Amino acid sequence: MISAGKESRIFNFFSINLETIRKKNSFISNFSNLIRNLGRKGLLIFHFRMDHHENIKLTSYFVEKCETNGKSSNMEEIINNFFHCNLIKRQEIKIKVIFNLIWRLGITSHYFFFIDFEVLFHNKKLSCSLNLLEMNELFERNLLNSQIEYVKLSKNLYFVDQSYLFLILQDLDSNYIYEIIEKYYPKYFIYILILNYLGYEKLLEIESIKLIENIKIINPVKIQKFSYEIFKKNS
């Protein structure tokens, strides 16, 4: 807890084990989107330093701004479960170490070589940062957080709020999409998300699908901005 006058703030500090990250080129966006979708607040911090041999090293940690209702107590478990590894670990921080943040110094003595993790900072613009399994987990979590009922019909298809179908594909499969349309259209409004950006672009070129009323094709790059409240319009 940090106090200033009558105001006080509670923070949790978590070290990040960069060696456990499987998809390094999408980690920052995945982590940031997860925190945002959980409704939490905090800072994802990377600290760089150069040793006497001119090797660039880095360490990373997450500082969570806690709420007074105890909502943040399970942060470590949620994040580690989502990434399927022991990614973060809560750290007890001494008072003198907190001042390291002001001077942009690290809060741990454990560093990684930057050359092994520079892919973390590559900007992956032309694809969704999540694979099918991760997208499904995120989609279901957001529905639950928004108190929206759904039924998972398959690994690719969700029936949401008794009015919508949400189809998620890693790559374009036009035959499967036509099967879904033939079976469920026009009874239900259909959302289609192709995680591979090139597949998304190819789908936009299929006018027999793109021009159908009540079928929405979602840009995978913008999926983190998708509003789940749209499912409540007919509730």
**β-sheet bridge partners, residue 64:** 12, 42
Q: By C-alpha distance, which of 61, 62, 92, 88 is closest to 77?
A: 88
pLDDT tens-digit series, residues 45-102? 888 888 787 788 888 889 888 765 545 468 889 899 988 999 999 887 766 666 666 5
pLDDT, residue 1, reads 47
pLDDT, residue 37, reads 82
pLDDT band at residue 215 under the 50/70/90 scheme: very high
pLDDT tens-digit series, residues 9-54? 678 888 899 989 887 877 888 898 888 888 888 889 888 888 787 7
- pLDDT above 70 (res 109): no
What share of the chain has pLDDT > 70, as a percent? 82
Give the chain as a 3 state SS string: CEEECCEEECEEEEEECHHHCCCHHHHHHHHHHHHHHCCCEEEEEEEEEECCCCCEEEEEEEEEECCCCCHHHHHHHHHHHHHCCCCEEEECCCHHHHHHHHCCCCCCCCCEEHHHCHHHHCCCCCECCCCHHHHHHHHHHHHHHCCCCEEECCCCEEEECCCEEEEEECCCCHHHHHHHHHHHCCCCEEEEEECEHHHHHHHHCCHHHHCCCCEEEECHHHHHHCCHHHHHCCC
| Contact between residue 204 and residue 215 where contact means Cβ atoms under 8 Å apart | no
Q: What domains, with CATH codes, occur in the chain? A: 2-121 (3.30.70.240), 132-232 (no CATH)
